[in-house]
């Protein structure tokens, strides 16, 4: 009796659960709110009329370029899909002419990507602020208002919107173009200067301090006799940044076979510099930047060349690499690469034993007209001159322009992108000229004075024919 009741109850419970599941599924399918939420969650694409598209196509070219370099497009797309945003866009002059070159170089270094993202997100507010919403009453407490930016590291640092001298301001920057770009999902105001959060400023200051960069600064090389390549005396401690005792060309030349062990350069464990790691770092930078794969492949495959560069940097020397892009390397012919050691010689001609940046080279050619830089391919030098607002290397067909400056700069190695492969001028062989042989003139034997007088006297008497010497 109990077993039968238990079976009936189990069947009844299972049937009730099945009916409830079917009713709930039908209700969810018919609920319009569920449909709306599902569609909105799946559609995260940005409309062509979005404020982000308008920013990338606007006249704020410097800001849009930094946004792409900082890899912020996906982050901003997510922010726009959730709410309206307000962008305070600095004008191009504020990011190009008025910005400290050292600070701009700090932002563009690959290791400081987080600081660049914080700087750009500090100019964006996750709400729509129209110019009509600016506080106008100067005497009341509503003359200014504070808003939180999208910067995650500046949560306790708000942006203050206020009126000063009848003009709209955002913190310390004046708004010169309110409502410059208006879109349904956001608005862009033009400001005159850059807004820098405290977190980014602290990162930059710590990077500039001597304690933070002491491991990067070059140290003095030991004092070496250039004739014997032996140490004169134990190297005394040299201040950081002092030039090496020998020029870079002597460091490349092999020393004597019985030379003493070289003194440890700035690559040891005692807070010195690792040149091989630095060379690998700039090769990885070329690969990630794109467009310089051919040069990176040459440096990777020619391990002796990369090791030589790393050794020079470890010993305190500096290098400037004129890096041809892939399009320029593709123009090299098989004849130019067929000779043994041709790739090494081509790369050596693009290595300058100086630390030069785009700014220093451009200032030099503007001041002196033409400048000749030594290369590691002795004795050839590369000529630089100013052309079309840039630096032009070489002459004639074998010339190239500096079009992607400061690809990699760390105080030791500077990489400058050029659009051509530089080749040294061909050495003219002096052909010895053939000298015509000088013809020897055979002189007739000449008689003496006494013999001539005697023959003349005999000729007067008609007897000179008897003597053979008178003929």
Q: What does the pLDDT read at residue 227?
A: 67
Contacts of 51 (CB under 8 A, 6+ apart): 80, 85, 87, 181, 183, 185, 186, 187, 188
Average of per-residue pLDDT across 48-73: 90
Q: What are phi and psi of 191, to 5 degrees?
A: -120, 160
Compare 177 and 243 and report the one with higher pLDDT: 177
User: For residue 2, what pLDDT band results from cuts at 50, 70 and 90?
Assistant: very low
Tell me if domain 51-211 and domain 272-418 are identical in fold. Answer: yes
Class of domain 272-418: mainly beta
Query: 199 pairs with which residues across the strands?
Result: none
Give the percent of the chain with pLDDT over 90. Answer: 27
The Cα-based distances of 285 to 76, 108, 117 in angstroms read 26, 12, 19
Across the range 187-207, mean pLDDT stands at: 89
- pLDDT at residue 53 greater than cutoff 80: yes
Residue appearing with tokens 């005999």? 458
- For the cut 70, the answer to whether the pLDDT of residue 471 exceeds it is no
Q: Using one digit for the tens of pLDDT, what is the confidence trace for 204-263?
A: 888 766 545 555 555 556 667 766 667 666 656 667 767 776 677 666 655 444 444 444
Q: What is the pLDDT of residues 259-287, one digit of tens each?
A: 444 444 444 444 456 788 889 999 999 99
What's the pLDDT at 38?
39
Segment among 64-78, 184-198, 267-281, 355-369 with least mean pLDDT = 267-281
Distance CA 373, CA 382 (A): 5
On the question of pLDDT at 462 being above 80, the answer is no
For residue 334, the model assigns a pLDDT of 84
Domain segments of the chain as ranges:
51-211, 272-418
Residue 320 has what pLDDT? 95
Residue 467, number of CB atoms within 10 A of its CB: 12
For residues 130 and 179, what is the distance between their CA atoms, to the nearest angstrom?
Answer: 7
Mean pLDDT of the chain: 77
Summarised one tens digit per residue, pLDDT across range 314-345 is 888 889 999 999 999 999 888 888 888 888 88
Range with top average pLDDT, 5-19, 54-68, 140-154: 54-68
Cα–Cα nearest to 195, from 264, 269, 94: 94
Q: Name the band, by pLDDT with cuts 50, 70 and 90, for residue 424.
A: confident
Distance from the Cα of residue 256 to its chain's centroid: 38
- Give the Cα separation of 63 and 352 in Å (integer): 33
Structure confidence at residue 253 (pLDDT): 54
Q: Report d(CA 404, CA 251) in Å as an integer.
A: 30
pLDDT digits (tens, 9 = 90+) for 104-119: 888 888 888 999 999 9
Strand partners, 161: 145, 170
- CATH of the domain spanning 51-211: 2.30.180.10
> How far are the Cα atoms of 201, 345, 372 from residue 391, in angstroms, in the given order?
32, 23, 12
Check: CB of residue 85 under 8 Å from CB of residue 120: no
CA separation for the pair 46, 320 (Å, rounded): 43
Distance of CA 281 to the CA centre of its chain: 12
pLDDT in tens, 362-413: 999 999 889 999 999 888 999 999 998 899 999 888 899 998 999 998 888 9
Smallest Cα–Cα separation from 357: which of 301, 403, 416? 416
- Please say whether the beta carbons of 216 and 412 come within 8 A: yes
């Amino acid at each position: 009796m109990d077993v039968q009741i238990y079976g009936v109850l189990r069947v009844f419970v299972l049937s009730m659960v099945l009916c409830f599941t079917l009713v709930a599924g039908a209700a969810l399918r018919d609920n319009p709110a569920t449909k709306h939420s599902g569609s909105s969650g799946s559609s995260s694409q940005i409309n062509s009329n979005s404020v982000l598209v308008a920013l990338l196509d606007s006249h704020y070219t410097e800001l849009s370029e930094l946004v792409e370099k900082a890899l912020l497009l996906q982050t901003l797309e997510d922010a726009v899909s959730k709410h309206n945003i307000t962008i305070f866009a600095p004008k191009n002059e504020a990011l190009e002419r008025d910005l400290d070159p050292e600070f701009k170089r700090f932002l563009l270094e690959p290791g400081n990507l987080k600081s660049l993202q914080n700087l750009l997100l500090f100019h964006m507010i996750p709400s729509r602020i129209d110019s009509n919403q600016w506080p106008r009453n100067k005497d009341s407490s509503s003359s200014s208002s504070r808003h939180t930016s999208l910067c995650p590291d500046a949560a306790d640092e708000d942006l203050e919107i206020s009126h000063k001298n009848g003009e709209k301001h955002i913190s310390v920057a004046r708004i010169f173009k309110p409502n410059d770009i208006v879109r349904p999902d956001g608005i862009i105001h033009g400001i005159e200067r850059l807004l820098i959060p405290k977190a980014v400023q602290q990162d930059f200051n710590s990077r500039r301090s001597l304690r933070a960069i002491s491991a990067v600064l070059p140290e003095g090389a030991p004092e070496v006799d250039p004739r014997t390549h032996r140490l004169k005396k134990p190297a005394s401690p040299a201040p950081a940044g002092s030039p090496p005792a020998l020029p870079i060309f002597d460091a490349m030349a092999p020393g004597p076979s019985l030379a003493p062990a070289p003194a440890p350069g700035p690559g040891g464990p005692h807070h010195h510099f690792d040149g091989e790691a630095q060379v690998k770092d700039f090769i990885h930078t070329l690969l990630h930047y794109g467009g310089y794969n051919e040069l990176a492949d040459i440096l990777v495959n020619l391990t002796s060349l990369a090791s030589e560069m790393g050794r020079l940097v470890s010993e305190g020397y500096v290098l400037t690499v004129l890096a041809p892009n892939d399009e320029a390397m593709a123009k090299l012919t098989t004849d130019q690469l067929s000779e043994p050691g041709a790739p090494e010689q081509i790369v050596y001609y693009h290595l300058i034993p100086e630390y030069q940046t785009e700014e220093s080279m451009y200032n030099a050619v503007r001041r002196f007209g033409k400048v000749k830089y030594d290369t590691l391919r002795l004795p050839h030098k590369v000529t630089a001159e100013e052309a079309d607002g840039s630096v032009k290397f070489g002459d004639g067909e074998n010339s190239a322009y500096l079009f992607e400056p400061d690809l990699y700069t760390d105080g030791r190695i500077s990489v400058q992108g050029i659009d051509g492969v530089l080749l040294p001028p061909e050495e003219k062989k002096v052909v010895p000229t053939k000298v015509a042989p000088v013809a020897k003139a055979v002189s007739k034997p000449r008689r003496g004075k006494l013999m001539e007088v005697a023959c003349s006297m005999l000729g007067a008497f008609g007897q000179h024919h008897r003597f053979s010497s008178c003929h």
